[in-house]
Amino acid sequence: MCGIVGAVAQRDVAEILLEGLKRLEYRGYDSAGVAIIHEGELKRTRRLGKVQELATALDESPLPGGTGIAHTRWATHGEPSERNAHPHISCGDIAVVHNGIIENHAKLREQLTALGYEFASDTDTEVICHLVHHELKSHDTLLAAVQATVKQLEGAYGTVVIDRRDPERLVVARSGSPLVIGYGLGEHFVASDQLALLPVTRTFAYLEEGDVAEVTRREVNIFDIDGNPVTREKKESEITHDAGDKGEYRHYMLKEIYEQPMALARTLEGRIANQQVLDTAFGDNAAEFLKDIKHVQIIACGTSYHAGMAARYWLEEWAGVSCNVEIASEFRYRKSHMFPNSLLVTISQSGETADTLAALRLAKEMGYKSTLTICNAPGSSLVRESDMAYMMKAGAEIGVASTKAFTVQLAGLLMLTAVLGRYNSMSDEMQKAISQSLQSMPAKVEQALGLDDAIAALAEDFADKNHALFLGRGDQYPIAMEGALKLKEISYIHAEAYASGELKHGPLALIDADMPVIVVAPNNELLEKLKSNVEEVRARGGLMYVFADKDAEFESDDTMKVIPVPHCDEFMAPLIYTIPLQLLSYHVALIKGTDVDQPRNLAKSVTVE
Ligand code: HGA
């Protein structure tokens, strides 16, 4: 979600800031802006729309200067518009960029208005810059003024502040929205994600919750929530490839769909030996944390929630532990019951999903026996704050609609099933079968990708449809949910998923020739039941697209198109059936001409609640 980049250097920084914003574009945003200090003055340019608009404006009217901040905004308070775009400025002196939400903005706005400050935007963010300006009247340094300011803020922020009267300094503060410091030679940078800064440095330190730091060309001084000086570990970035490159692919989403065999191979590396999944897949001390677990509570949002839903079937049936799955934004605001010996599992591609992070913190207060995160971002908040981490190693995912992260999450959750199964009731044979299945996943996904052309040919049928229904049973029900979510996200077609046994309890009323029904039908013990559901749809004139195992014996006819999916075992079936559904939504979106990688209104990593 949205992006922050800041720099303090001897050279002009506009290009560095712009390149950083471009690298964060994939997260979704509605406007962009930059403010730079030059010869004691603050200069600002903002544009509604793409970073390219901002780049063009800066080409026409360059902003020289070595200290600057930049932002891509995803509006939460105040419509997307140039006047609401960041940076916001107070009295021509202080400029601020901010990710997050200031919950007590209305009260602060009132107080600041009474003090004579005039607001130029409808954002919650603007209170920060006026507050800093006000605090500077009673504090000597920008650092002290920001420290006094953040004490008054309720909500979440990652923020960077500059003052034209102190032109060689950035002050940054983090609470609930990630910020990283990038170390250069005689120059320093800040950003909401290290991806933004890879062209200028590979050395980073993540700020922790409550940290405030002052950053000059020569020094970085970090202070914790109580104002004590602290050091935060510097690390070399592990990102080896340039995630900013689409290569031969038309969209990042397609590239990421095709990267799945590689991502799965990477996630399996070093985690299976002697036909068993190793405990160390979940961290060095994982055995200690996992051995007494009898119940698993999974917390996630969106696509990650669907991965958790699939894992519930596996953990209960194969590992012999009970499992609940809940959406993070619900879990964090209700009183839930905790079972003895419970493991809390959070799933998040970015590791910064605000609701999931809040749910983890709540679970720790509740006294969960241990916590595990399944996460793709090393050093992220979820990784740092959990007892154990399954690092997905899926590689950077740029498309807003998640694809490879989902299948890698499924693989990680299947490994968790095998490990918890070993400590409970799973036979050696089953553990062996799961590890064999895991190891053959990359090749099987490669085979499933071979369906691409056949699926592209179907996509035309969906172009004029406004609704679609996805059906699955058992652990394919969450796959149907994920298929529906993908179609919604990138083609804007309203899609819903049902466990097919639920059809007759309501959704059957919707069936007609304008409501395509997509069915995922592996050859499992629920096949006969699923076939009855298919007949129910057929009898009502529905048009079906059935993704089926060839042994499932579905035949194409006037009302049904059958797409044969490569035969696969029960452990990998949910993952394999995901592939054609990803391809279907991609091709439908292509025909509809939507913005596949940055669908409207959505952001990649949801760092606000
Ligand atoms: N609440 C602020 C910032 C939202 C955000 O994180 N955008 O990138 C606003 O609405 O401007």
Question: pLDDT by residue (tens digit) across 146-184?
Answer: 999 999 999 889 999 999 999 999 999 999 888 999 999
Quick one: DSSP state of residue 14?
H
The predicted-structure confidence for 189-204, as pLDDT tens digits, reads as follows 999 989 899 999 999 9
Q: Is 125 in the pocket of ligand 1 (CB under 6 A)?
A: yes
- How far lies 585's CA from each of 250, 259, 370, 579, in Å? 15, 17, 37, 10
Q: Using CA atoms, how far apart are residues 26 and 196, in angstroms rounded to an integer?
A: 11
Q: Would you state the pLDDT for residue 519?
A: 92
Q: Is the alpha carbon torsion for 14, 19, 24, 26 positive or negative?
A: positive
Ligand 1 binding pocket mutation candidate from 46, 98, 153, 174 (most atoms within 8 A of CB): 98
Q: How far apart are CA 205 and CA 179, in angstroms?
A: 9
| CA 77 to ligand 1: nearest atom | 10
d(CA 6, CA 89) in angstroms, rounded, equals 15
Least confident of 217-226, 454-463, 524-533: 524-533
- pTM comes to 0.75
**Ligand 1 atom at minimum distance from 98 CA:** 3
How far does residue 117's CA lie from ligand 1's centre (Å)?
Answer: 20
The residue-averaged pLDDT of 114-138 equals: 98
* Strand 212-215 versus strand 229-230 pairing type: unpaired
Which amino acid makes up residue 193? D
**What is the pLDDT at residue 244?**
58
**pLDDT tens readout for residues 268-285:** 998 998 899 999 999 989
Q: Which atom of ligand 1 is nearest to the CA of 124?
A: 1
Of 313 and 2, the structure prediction assigns the larger pLDDT to 313
Six token digits for residue 27:
């997260």
What is the distance in A from the centroid of ligand 1 to the CA of 99?
5
| 347-371 confidence digits (pLDDT tens) | 999 999 999 999 999 999 999 999 9
Distance of CA 505 from the midpoint of ligand 1 (Å): 41
Q: Answer whether 103's CB lies under 8 Å from 358's CB.
A: no
pLDDT of residue 392: 94
Write down the pLDDT at residue 357.
94
Q: What is the pLDDT of residue 529?
A: 80
Give SS3 for 18.
helix
Euclidean distance between CA atoms 72 and 49, whole angstroms: 10
The DSSP symbol for 469 reads E
Give residue for tokens 């003055």.
41
* Best probe residue, ligand 1, of 24, 125, 193, 604 (max atoms within 8 Å of C-beta): 125
What are the CA-CA distances from residue 126 to residues 7, 130, 415 (Å)?
21, 7, 47
Measured on CA atoms in the order 341, 297, 529, 436, is the torsion positive or negative? negative
Q: How far is the CA of 250 from the centre of ligand 1 (A)?
A: 30
What is the residue with the minimal CA distance to atom 8 of ligand 1?
73
Quick: pLDDT tens for 529-546: 878 888 888 888 888 999
Return the amino acid letter for 169. Answer: R
Q: What is the pLDDT of residue 295?
A: 97
Question: Does residue 241 register a pLDDT over 70?
Answer: no
Is residue 242 scored above 70 in pLDDT? no
What gap in Å lies between CA 126 and CA 143, rounded to an integer? 18
- With a cut of 80, say whether residue 609 has pLDDT above it: no
Contact 123 CB / ligand 1 (< 6 Å): yes
Q: Look at residue 37 and give its three-state secondary structure.
A: strand
Which numbered atom of ligand 1 lies nearest the CA of 84?
11
Give tens-digit pLDDT for 443-458. 999 999 999 999 999 9
User: What mean pLDDT is predicted for residues 74-79?
Assistant: 92
75 Cβ below 6 A of ligand 1:
yes
Q: Is residue 506 predicted with pLDDT exceeding 60? A: yes
Decide whether any atom of ligand 1 lies within 6 Å of the 155 Cβ: no
Higher pLDDT, 442 or 550: 442
Buried b (16+ CB within 10 A) or exposed e, 295-310: bbbbbbbbbbbbbbbb
d(CA 78, CA 551): 55
Which residues on neighbouring strands pair with residue 345, listed in sequence order?
298, 372
CA of 69 to the centre of ligand 1 (A): 15
Q: Which residue has the CA at smallest separation from atom 5 of ligand 1? A: 99
| 520-548 burial: b if 16+ Cβ within 10 Å, else e | bbbbbebbeebbebbeebbebebbbbbbb
- Segment 15-52, tens digit of pLDDT: 999 999 999 887 778 999 999 999 999 999 999 999 99
For the chain, the average pLDDT equals 93
Evaluate: CB of 157 within 6 angstroms of ligand 1.
no
> What pLDDT digit, counting tens, does each position of 389-408 carry?
999 999 889 888 999 999 99
Instruction: Kindly give the distance from the C-alpha atom of residue 159 to the centroid of ligand 1, in angstroms, as a whole number.
Output: 10
Contacts of 595 (CB under 8 A, 6+ apart): none
Please say if 2 is a catalytic residue: yes
CA-29 nearest atom, ligand 1: 8
- Residue 568 appears among annotated catalytic residues: no
Cα within 13 Å of Cα(206), Cβ side? 22
**pLDDT of res. 240:** 56
Q: Which of 50, 404, 561, 604 is catalytic?
A: 604
| 74 CA to centre of ligand 1 in angstroms | 6
Encode burial over 456-494: b for 16+ CB neighbours within 10 A, e otherwise: bebbeebeebeebbbbbbbbbbbbbbbbbbbbbbbbbbe
The b/e string for 356-390 (b: 16+ C-beta within 10 A; e otherwise) is bbbbbebbeeeebbbbbbbbbbbbbbbbebbbbbb
Tell me if 45 sits within 8 A of 81, measured CB to CB.
no
- CB-CB contact of 386 with 360 (8 Å): yes
Q: Report the atom number in ligand 1 closest to the C-alpha of 1.
A: 8
Q: How far apart are CA 403 and CA 581, in angstroms?
A: 10
φ/ψ bin of 489: left (φ > 0), alpha (ψ from -120 to 50), beta (otherwise): alpha
Q: How many residues does the chain have?
A: 609
Spatial separation of the C-alpha atoms in residues 47 and 191, rounded to whole Å:
20
Ligand 1 nearest atom to the CA of residue 2, by list position: 8
Spatial separation of the C-alpha atoms in residues 326 and 305, rounded to whole Å = 7
**pLDDT above 70 coverage of the chain, percent:** 98
pLDDT at 553 exceeding the cut of 90: no
Catalytic hit among 2, 301, 323, 568: 2
Return the closest-CA partner of residue 368 out of 346, 392, 384, 348. 346
Residues in a beta bridge with 171: 161, 214
Give distance in angstroms: CA of 354 to centre of ligand 1.
Answer: 14
pLDDT at 243: 56
Whether residue 559 has pLDDT greater than 80: yes
Q: 121 CB less than 6 Å from ligand 1?
A: no
